[in-house]
Chains A and B, each alone.
Chain A
Amino acid sequence: MLSLLNLSAVLPASQWGMASQAAEASAAMLAFTQAALPRLAISLLAGAALGITGAVLQQALRNPLADATTLGLSAGAALALAAAGSLAPRLLDLGETPVATAGAGLAALLVFGLAWRSGFAALALVLMGLVVSLLCGALAAMLAVLQHDQLSALALWQAGFLQQSGWRPSLRLLAALIGAGLLLALLRRPLAMLDLGDAQATALGIPVTMLRLASLLLAVLLGAICVGAVGMLGLVGVFAPNVARLLGATRFDCRMGWAALLGALLVWLTDQAIQAAGGAMPTGSATALLSAPTLIWAARRQASPAPRPTLPPVPPLLASRLPPLLVAAVSLACLAVALAFGRGVEGWAWLSPADASAILPWRWPRVLVALSAGSLLAMAGMMLQRVTGNAMASPELLGISAGAGLGVVAVMVLSPAFSRLALTGGAGLGAAAALATAALFGARPGAPPERLLLVGLALATILGAATTLLLTSGDPRAATLWAWLAGSSYRATPADALFGMGMVCLLLVVAPALLRWLAILPLGAPASRGVGAIQGQPVVLAMICLASAGATLIMGPMSFIGLIGPHLARASGLRRPLPQLLGAALTGGLVLMMADWAGRNLLFPWQIPGGLVASLTGLPLLLAMMWRRR
């Protein structure tokens, strides 16, 4: 109905019949046949394609959150566009679509390749997908920071505009949808058998690994083509199958059809509503804003939480613990380098006493801010991984940093000045709002921690959409926002440094009181309830939120440090809660401090945000660790 209204705004309904014969008769006819109709078609096609992709990925991986984003497709496509734009512009002569499709496909192949050795275990695939996503995102962000003019092209693609100027993209997507859709429809019955579990399905004669590989490849191909054609349409792939399940499509073979229908419906309705409102809002951002709250709602209604992955054993890299003296010496050496060694106009040199008075006031707050933000995030990550029993949990998944980011975006829209005080205030308010949301949804004793992560995912999606909106407005401050989001110590003041170090001290004082809970909570809700540790969950969560809010306030909502810090501590043989916490604080802090140092010096006088350097060096390391473990 809405569609009819919109279409008749372009061309009166009485003339529709003539449109096919006299396409060139009038300008209105042209807008009708070459812009309005293809846009209608592509909204339906893209929604259906993403719905099917999500349904198949979720079934094959047995994870209700799998979709084109989870497996790294969107991030891979964005990276391919950014890399082609700055390194090989000739590739873009082919158009954005093939480049983005290839990037999405390559990212998925990388994920598959890495998960090959684990026999395509669903959990391993999702974890690899997450890490590859983060890595691609970090690389794309670095290119955008260094080449500001690339930013607007990339942002426009990420926003997911459905505007069309001809039929070519819709016809291509239709062909892909028919091809992949038909093949997947043939596989829907064996896929449905995966509900019985891998062992049972194998016993029934289903070649589980082959089936999984084939359906994943098909789904990824379809998703990659769709992402390449329309950019990012946030969370449609998560939304459609989950809503289909809630509406009663419990069997996979009917869920796939319903997911296609619901996906098409969501994108089409959103797109038509935007057109009816006359707004220039990108459809991708709007679907993200719409589907994110639905996700939270769906998470609340889900009866049984997703299966809880257990902490995988990480083999210690070191046979015995490092002697404390050596640790102290290395830490001090790092601190000395970060403070006094670097590149200037004349090349690499130690800071001379003569220059120290001019340079150090700029440098020491940045060094300390990086050190304390790294410590805070690593401690938050360690506690979160213990509470959720999920080795891949990371504080940015809680949505605290996304909340802070949203606060900053709001400040940028409302106040052109973007003053330091407004920035801190916006970030603080945003973090507090996210904290309140988290408390409302997941902080009750015994509530599944996955629910918190879902809220975080939803908030992060909303942040992405809001950021993209700002980036497409031609605002020169966009580059500033981009750097801040990636984790930059650039704006650090002495007050920030002291605040950060104070937070670290506070956590180190309070944490020992939480140790008993941290030791028991990883065992899961029933065991924790038995010994009364479940009461500690809200307290631990509050500490996690405080630590990540503090780190975000001083250095931005960066990812990764909270993920890797605890793992590095475990890999150095620190397993019991207190040693692991201290180890995580020290390694997280040192890693971010040195990353910040490298970011300040490698491309001098240009600066790469420290959070970005940490991700770029650490994520491949993490992938290698995961690969080695199998």
Chain B
Amino acid sequence: MSSPGRRSLLLAAAGLPLVAAAPDRPLEQRIVATDWAATESLLALGVTPLATVDVASYREWLPSLPLPDSVLDLGSRAEPNMELLAGLRPERILISNWQRALLGQFGAIAPVEVVTILGSGPSPLDNARAALRRIGVLMNRDARAKQCIEALETVLAPPAITARPLYIGVLHENGRQLFAYGRGSWVQEILDQLGLRNALARPTSAFGNALLDIAHLIESPEALLLYLDQGERTRRAERALRQSSLWQGLPLVRAGRARSISPFYALGGVPSALYCATLLRRALADG
């Protein structure tokens, strides 16, 4: 399901330039990104950052835009290594809005650009577009940024065909709960633009998700549940759910409307949103 070949195919079909394959002009600037939304936006523009945070998890969670081997690991997302960062002598640092507390420290090393996706303004998707455009301007890649955003609009333009409301989320391995995406995340906007209905009717956190009980899935019996396949963790959740009499009795489970899809990074930028939209389209086209 999640072989890289198929994934690149999806992206190519969506019109996104395949970064790994395309050789780039030498870098004009020495760039470091301390957040993955910024990192993937850079990669989508054909710019390789000197370093980013938690490289191993990035490769696991955002495999759609592979990170070149040359990219250094700065450590955890919560505490990027300042000494290493300072030693790299970057010319610009891209950070996320939730890292703004460290603005002073980062600013002492190089000019800082804050990339905001969630938690500000009504539309995270607009935030992601604006962030990509801004990075495009900074990196002298405005044309490429425009291309990426057009690719996203292309995927979002034609309405998807299903009247069913959708739950999109992550199963918890305790087999009793799941995180579902909704208002406040760009997943909701992608559903809106594709003409789909989110089955999640509950209030969401500031980060666009809600913790649901399995029993809440009864509220929308005609819904389709698409859960992110996070490998082993999802296998464990499925195993726990097979032993749950509630899950087995759910209308949507009995009708075979609970399915896994490849994982996407819901806090990401335009590339992640594009990938998510492509996945949803495919999942619905499959039946």
Contacts and interface: CB of A to CB of B under 8 A. Distances in A.
Same complex for A and B? Answer yes
Among A27, A344, A345, chain B packs the most CB atoms within 10 A around the CB of: A27
Given A30-B250, A163-B214, A472-B211, A477 B98 contact: yes
A148 B54 contact: yes
Interface string B75-94: 11111011110110100000
Contacts of B205: 473-475
A35 interface: yes
Contacts of A96: 173-174
B172 interface: yes
Nearest to B76: A606
Contacts of B74: 605
Task: Give the contact-size bracket for chain A.
Answer: 35 or more
B211 A607 contact: no
Contacts of B86: 358-359, 361-362
Contact of B236 (A24, A92, A477, A479): A92
A475 B75 CA distance: 19
Contact of A165 (B77, B79, B246): B246
Interface string B137-174: 00000000000000000000000000000000000111
A314 B277 CA distance: 66
B17 interface: no
Nearest to A159: B211
Contacts of B126: none
Interface stretch (A149-157, A371-379, A521-529, A532-540): A149-157
Contacts of A490: 79, 82
A362 B82 contact: yes
A416 B244 CA distance: 38
A620 interface: no
A479 B177 CA distance: 22
A419 B101 CA distance: 4
A605 B34 CA distance: 13
Given A156-B174, A167-B245, A473-B206, A420 B78 contact: no
Contacts of B179: 474
Given A355-B87, A475-B207, A163 B177 contact: yes
A272 interface: no
Contact of B81 (A146, A168, A355, A604): A604
A149 B267 CA distance: 14
Contacts of B105: 491
B173 A31 contact: no
A530 interface: no
B66 interface: no
A417 B84 contact: no
Contacts of B108: 361
A34 interface: yes
B234 to A, nearest CB: 12
A95 interface: yes
Contacts of A92: 173, 236
Nearest to B79: A490
Contacts of A345: 72, 84, 87
B287 interface: no
A66 B119 CA distance: 43
A165 B247 contact: yes
A20 to B, nearest CB: 14
A418 B87 contact: no
B88 to A, nearest CB: 9
A607 B87 contact: no
Contacts of B119: 416
A474 B209 contact: yes
Interface string B208-227: 01110111001001000000
Given A93-B236, A483-B78, A168 B176 contact: no
B176 A165 contact: yes
Contacts of B235: 93
A34 B249 contact: yes
B54 A31 contact: no
B215 A163 contact: yes
A193 interface: no
A153 B247 CA distance: 20
Contact of A358 (B87, B103, B209, B236): B87
A35 B246 contact: yes
A145 interface: yes
Contact of B173 (A35, A145, A153, A491): A153
Among A93, A166, A490, A606, chain B packs the most CB atoms within 10 A around the CB of: A166
Interface in B28-65: 54, 57
B259 interface: no
B104 interface: yes
A145 B76 contact: yes
Contact of B207 (A35, A473, A606): A473
A30 B76 contact: no
B218 A27 contact: yes
A460 to B, nearest CB: 22
23 contacts: A31-B218, A93-B235, A93-B239, A145-B78, A148-B57, A153-B172, A156-B211, A163-B215, A164-B246, A165-B213, A165-B244, A166-B247, A358-B86, A363-B83, A416-B119, A417-B101, A418-B100, A419-B103, A474-B207, A483-B76, A483-B79, A604-B81, A606-B81
Given A148-B57, A164-B246, 15 more contacts: A153-B233, A163-B176, A163-B213, A355-B87, A359-B86, A418-B101, A419-B100, A472-B211, A475-B207, A476-B77, A477-B98, A482-B78, A605-B72, A605-B74, A607-B81
